[in-house]
Structure formats: structure tokens, C-alpha cells
Structure 1
Amino acid sequence: MITTTLEKNNCRQQLWKSAKQLAFPTAMWRLPRQTEKHFLTSFSAIPEQTKIDFEELGPGFAFSPFVNIDGKNTFFLKADLHYIFTESDLNNKEDLQEVIVPSSLNPQFIDLLASLDSDQKKVYQSTFDNQEQSQKQDYINLVEKAVDQINAGSFQKVVLSRTKKITLSSDFEVVTVFDKLCKAYPSAFVSAVSLPHLGVIWMGASPETLVSQNAKGIFRTMALAGTQSAYDADGNLIRPSEALWRQKEIEEQSFVTRYIINCLKKIRVREFEEEGPKTVIAGNLMHLRTDIIIDTVEINFPQLATVMLDLLHPTSAVCGMPKVPATEFILANEGYDREFYSGFLGPINMQTNGNGQESHIFVNLRTMKLQNEAAILYAGCGITADSNPTKEWQETEMKTQTLERVLNAEL
């Protein structure tokens, strides 16, 4: 077995370095409120681009951009190799729980895996100074323009984003940062996706489920919107039950909830459970969340996850309302390509917790792109008629802190 060549403490480091050296597309992830950590590699140099159909695809990992024409531009990393790691409660060391190996394992991968030294030189080294550019005024101007368009009746809401560039430290390691994110954000979907043919790695800790369906056919999605700091002025954590929300955030969240319900109406699904809105903590932030739960077996609709993924993406939580004019405004005015930010990602038809095959797709938020020895951080916020441009800028600053704290080794 391939595991005989690995030391338990360095399994994922060696796996990640082997896949990177062979230019294999790779994903690591940990589901919200779980301890299992997953590692998946595809032995195809360029992953397939396809439309996601949960009933037709085998085990793998989906990674989709914000702009996805007809849903066919999603990368699908086939699970040629899938490891599941779990942490021992006694010694906090990783143990290999399960291995899924193809019938014909890539011999090049085995040879390289056995030869790697876990203490080899760090992969990422910083070679240039941090180049900070103030985007504050540009972003404020953009928000003001959006509010003018809302007041003119062009749309009701639009989600505007920006980027922030940070130089990676000399000791940066993907697996180490991944583990820090898992520790810091236990309720988030933590991920790292390497696409060698594009020369990029994307990492993040997303709080938002787009669609999920477990082995029993229970479908879930959520409306997550509205943002405020999870800490008061004195630095104390605010209890969710004591959070106060402005009309702007309440309205913003209701837009997303109505959008999901309207999608269900389009396909004549009326038997659903609605929980919320309730206040939830995601790292250093609080959000309003409403959960939508449907028993697909009871309503005899096994294809629901596939249909809803097509209808929901991009949701009003990352785009706006109505979708078409909001998207057109984003593409014409944001001034950069979102690429995979505010797209979607997650495991499809994979084993989880020994409960059979499940699929969990998340919105790619609280994310960063690693390229050319730098990290590009992404953050956005929903703009409505009541938006204050300066406060919207401050909200994007709070959101980038989710990843900045980890990169700055404060954890």
C-alpha cells in the first residue's frame, strides 16, 4: 500500500509536494464542524471542464468560476487518489482513516512520494517587497455609483468586491496555513485547490453552503448575508443572541432568502423547511443566515441538487438582484476579473464520516489566490439603497482579516 512510504506526521505535506512536483490538480478540504481532512489528486494534467451533474459524475472535486457560461466551465478534479485523515483525541496526531486508490495507481507518484524529504526547502519564498495600493477612494466611488443606479431603478442590490495583495512570508507552507485555517474557523469550509496548468493555488475558509445533499437525500442550501464584527468596541465576543442588526443588513439578507424561494417556485417545490434568519459567527464576523432543508426522497426529486445548482449560481449574495443587471454592472465596473472568487467549489459524491457518498458545494468566499509568491485576497459586500460607502469599505477590510490573521502568523 502507498501508505507504507509515509510518516504519519508528514503525510499531507508529502502528498501535497508530490502532486505539485508532478503538476497534478489537487484539492484539500475540511467540512464545517468536522475534524476529517481530505486530500484528493487527479492524475490528469488538466482537469475536465464540465457541467456539474451529481447523478452522472463519479467521485471528485468541483471548482467553478464566478462567470460560468451555461454551467459548463467548472473544473472537475476526478478522485484518482483520495485520502481521509482524522486527528487522534489522545495525541493530536493524524491517522490515516481511509484510502481510495484507483486500480492503476500512477507509479511516478509512488516513486516521488517515497523519495521526498519532509524537511525539504519551503516551496514558497517571498522575493519582493509588499506593494500596497490604496483602493479606498476608488471603492467608495464605485459604491456611490451603485447607489445612484439603485435609486434610478436599475437594480435593487449589487455585490461589489475588491482585492488586496500581500507578499507571502519566507516560511509559507500551504498545508501549514490550511491547518491554521481549520483551527481558526471550525464552522467554515476550509480548502486549498491547486491548478498547476494555470499556475495558481486558491485557499479559503468559506462560511456559505450553496447546495449539499447527503446519502439519505437531504438537500440543504442557505441564505447568508448581512455582516458586522463579532466583537464589540472593547474586543469582547458578542453573543449571537445579543446581536443588533440594521435595516440595511436585514433587507440584504431577505433578498437572498427570497431569491432561493423563487428558485424553488420555478421548479414547483413547495415542501421545504425554513430555519431562520438567525445570527451566526464566521471567524471575526457575524452574519444573518436562513437554512432551507428539503427531503428529496419524500418529494421524489433526486435531481434537486443538480437543478438548484444551475438556478442558484451566482446567488444574490455574490451578485445582486435582479441577477442580470447586477451582473452586468459588476462586469462593467469592478475593474478586475473575479476568476474563481464568488464561484463555487466542493467535493462531489465523496465518502464522508462513513455515511456513504455525499456532495457539498460552497460559495468561494473568504478566499485568496496564491501566485507569483504573493497572495491576492478577495472581499465584497452587498450594496443597497441604504449603503454607506465608507462603512462598506470597512466591511471589506473586516472580511480580508479572515485570511490576513493567518498569513501574519497571529494564530
Structure 2
Amino acid sequence: MSVLITTEMLGEHPKLSSVKTNLDLSSAWIRSGDGLVGFGTYKKLIVTGEDRFDQARAWWNHQLSEFQINNNVHGSGTGPLLFASFAFDSASPSVLVIPEVVFGQKSGKSWVTWIGDTKQPNLESINNASVSGEITWQNADKGEENWRKQVTSVIAAIKDGLVEKVVLARDLTATSTKEIDARSLLQRLEIEYPSTWLFLVDGLVGATPELLVRLSKSLVTSRVLAGTIRKSGNEDRDLTLAASLAKSSKDLEEHEYAVKSVADGLAPFCSSTNVPESPFVLHLSNVMHLATDVTGVLNSSAKQADIFTLVNQLHPSAAVCGTPTGVAKKYITQLEQMDRDRYSGPVGWIDAQGDGEIAIALRCGLLSQDRKSIRIFAGCGIVSDSNPEKEFAESQSKLIPMRTALDTL
């Protein structure tokens, strides 16, 4: 028996991060005020293994085959939606979620999609989310020496010609006297980082500046980031820092590896690709990154190529793993001594037409089951000219978005 899914236009345009229904907030994807928020969970699936992207495709297609879709809006992101958060490593669990209700907004147009033969759900707008409890940081001042030793080991391996680049990550854990409210985190991140992709999928919440892949009809887009410098807070000084970042041989080398891994990954599936010769400097509120937007047109002869194929091909990119990929992953396993879980994995949404946006889960945290603790993460790309002290300072900068959002709840 088919399941009815209805999408209708809305006349009102409330702020996405403030929308509320009688169901719990389960998923979100917001950038510059536009995006999607999901409530409740119609179905959820955990997948693991090297074929997890194939499993995800098969499950989503099966769900779509059971839907009777009544979409009066049309366009990317309308109709039934799948929110996905894949683990960095295939052995860790990846999560697929189909919300019961999705509220969407784009370019002044708002819509709602709901599952079931019921009337349109009531949507409310709230000014503030719940107040969380007092935050305590665990091991916030420990692990620095160990992490620097890991970086030193990688630099030595690079200089010995064993590997070209390795991305190392570290984590911190915060505990709260009350449940940590994901909506509050999203709202605070939205204030400070409106140009990033804000996301929430099954307890993974963050604000990432890096888009792994967007597929819109046949147009493919990927925003690659690698190379970072912390802002000073002084506008003139930051312009000087931006210029130095754009000329930094260390950062340009790191960035080149990341761009090449994405361009090479897309090439077999695209009839044409465009890779700018030089990166631009992306300014965020606390840091600046070297960035390159790689675009391509999906080859019509690549019949099996869809967004799941592209994600499988691109992950893990050199921006979150290193190069060569297999060798870099071995160093990560050997040195990090932690489970990244869904940090630095693909996260985003896919619609019934196969369009979607999948980012890399950076600047994020993973809430515990009881919502009273959260692990936050940061990673740095290590190349031959890296300096352990500077890399640690960079990792501290990358922890700031989540630390600040949590400390001000």
C-alpha cells in the first residue's frame, strides 16, 4: 500500500531555525537563511561497510517506490527528502533519516512537505530555543603534547617520501547539567557563520564551510577548502594576513592536493569540468581559508552516476584524509587513536529527483544519546612545511565555532 506525501506552498516565511511543530526537530540544512528543516522521524536506517553508499541508494529508492507523491511546488528540495550523515570510516555507523515533516525555504518561497493522509501540519515560529545547562569541558588542556607528537611523526614520514599529506584530527568533550538543545546551537552558529552550511542529522550538528558535492539536474559543484589562517580582528591586519595566505607555499601545497583529489574524482563522470587556476580567500568570522569552486556537467552516458556515486567517489577527499588516500588513512588509524565517527564524513540531503547537497561534516559536534554531552572536533592538513605548534593553534581556531556556541548557551 502506497504512502501519501504532500508538498504545498506556504504564504508565510518564518525564520527556518525558529520553525516549530508538535514533533521534535530531527534534521536541518540552512545557509544564508534558506534551506530545509525536518521534524519527527518517519524512518531511519543505520548502515556500515564499504558499500554503505550503495546501501543508502537502494534503501532510498525502495522508500520512494512506496510513496504516492503529491508535489504542488516542484523544484529542488521539494517532495520527500532523505537526510544523510555518513561516517568518515566505513566501519563506523552512518545514519539515514526520512523526516515526517519538512519545512523548506528558498529565494522568498516557502513550502511544507508531510507524510501521511492528514491535513497540513501547523507551523509556529519561536523567538528563542531552550536554555541549556552549565557547560564543563573535559580534557580541554590535555592532549596537546601528544597531538604535536603525532604531527611531528607525520612530517617526518612526509620528508621520508612515505606520504604526501595527512589530515590529523582531535576532539574535546563538553558536558552539561541539562540537555543540550540542538536548535540553540544552530541559532547561535547561524548568527556567527551565516555563509556556512548549518546542519543537523541525528545528533550531529555544526556549521561547515566545505561543500563536498551539489547535484542540481546535471550540474555538479564542489567547494574545496584547504589552507587556513586565523583572523586578528583588525580589518587592515586581516587583509595583510589574507594576502600572505594566498602566497603561502605550505598552504598552497595543501590546497593543491585537495583540489586535485576532487577534480580527479569527478572527471570520470563529467563531460566537462572547470577548475580555477588559483584559489580565492574565503573569509569567515574567525578564520580565512583558501577555497576553490570546482564545477562540472554530469556525463549523460554515465548511466549509473548519481549523487550517491559522486559521494562514494569523492570521499574521503584529500581535504579530510590526505594523499595518497590509502597511505594517509593508515597514518590516521595509527596516530589519531580515536573514532572520528561521523565527523569529516559526508552530510546533507537528497530529494526524490536525485538532486541534493552533501557537505563535509566539519566545525561540528556529536551529541550523546542523553543530549547531556557532546564531542566536538577539529582537523589540520599536515604537509612537509607544517609546524606542530602552528598546527595546534590552527586546530584551536577550528574548535572556536562549536566552543563559543556551547559556552554561550
Q: Please, what TM-score do these two structures have when normalized by structure 2? A: 0.78
Report the CA distance between 1:301 and its aligned residue.
6.2
CA 310–204 in structure 1, closer or farther in 2 if over 3 Å, else same: same
The 3 A distance-change label for structure 1 pair 158 and 97 is: same
Please state if 1:159 is matched with 2:167: yes
Aligned to 1:177: 185
Distance 1:346 1:10 in 2: 16
CA distance in 1 between counterparts of 2:269 and 2:302 reads: 12
Tell me the residue number matched to 2:68: none
- 1:264 is displaced (CA, Å) by 3.6
Q: For 2:23, what is the secondary structure of its paired residue?
A: helix
Does the C-alpha gap of structure 1 residues 318 and 406 become closer, same or farther in structure 2, counting only changes over 3 Å?
same
Partner of 1:60: 82
1:353 corresponds to: none
Consecutive unaligned residues of structure 2, counting only runs of 5 or more, are 1-5, 9-13, 65-80
| 1-structure distance, mates of 2:387, 2:341 | 27
Q: CA deviation at 1:295?
A: 2.2
Q: Which residue of 1 aligns with 2:77?
A: none
Please give the per-residue CA displacement for 1:326-354, whole angstroms capped at 9, x wherever unaligned. 1011112201100000111101017xxxx
Identity of aligned residues (%): 21
Q: How does 1:172-251 map to 2 (within 5 A)?
A: 172-194=180-202, 201-214=203-216, 216-231=217-232, 237-238=238-239, 242-244=243-245, 245-251=247-253
- Structure 1 residues 30 and 389: CA distance shift in structure 2, 3 A: same
SS at match of 2:224: strand
AA matched with 1:368: G
Shift of the 225–123 alpha-carbon distance from structure 1 to 2, 3 Å rule, reads same
Change beyond 3 A, Cα 1:142–1:296: same
Q: More strand per residue: 1 or 2? A: 2
Q: TM-score, normalised by structure 1?
A: 0.77
**How far apart in 2 are the matches of 1:10 and 1:403?**
20
The correspondence for 2:103, drawn from 80, 83, 90, is 83
Question: How big is the shift at 1:222?
Answer: 2.8
Kindly tell me: are residues 376 and 230 of structure 1, through their superposed partners in 2, closer, same or farther at Cα, counting changes over 3 Å?
same
Q: Name the SS of the counterpart of 2:34 in structure 1.
A: coil
Q: Secondary structure at the match of 1:47?
A: strand
Whole-Å Cα distance in 1 between the matches of residues 360 and 137 of structure 2? 32
Letter in 2 for 1:375: I
CA separation of 1:53 and 1:294: change in aligned 2, threshold 3 A: farther
For residues 341 and 294 of structure 2, the distance between their equivalents in structure 1, rounded to whole angstroms, comes to 28
The answer to whether the 8 Å contact 1:277/1:290 transfers is yes
Instruction: Give the conservation status (yes or no) of the 8 Å contact 2:101–2:113.
Output: yes
CA 1:340 to 1:121, structure 2 compared with 1: closer, same or farther past 3 Å? closer
> 1:64-103 CA deviation, whole Å, 9 max, x = no partner?
000126xx96422124321225799xxxxxxx93111123
Q: How does 1:353-368 map to 2 (within 5 A)?
A: 358-368=355-365
Q: Does the 8 A contact of 2:46 with 2:96 survive in 1?
A: yes
Contact 1:38 1:85 in 2 (8 A): no
Match of 2:298 among 292, 296, 300: 296
What's the secondary structure of 1:307's corresponding residue? helix
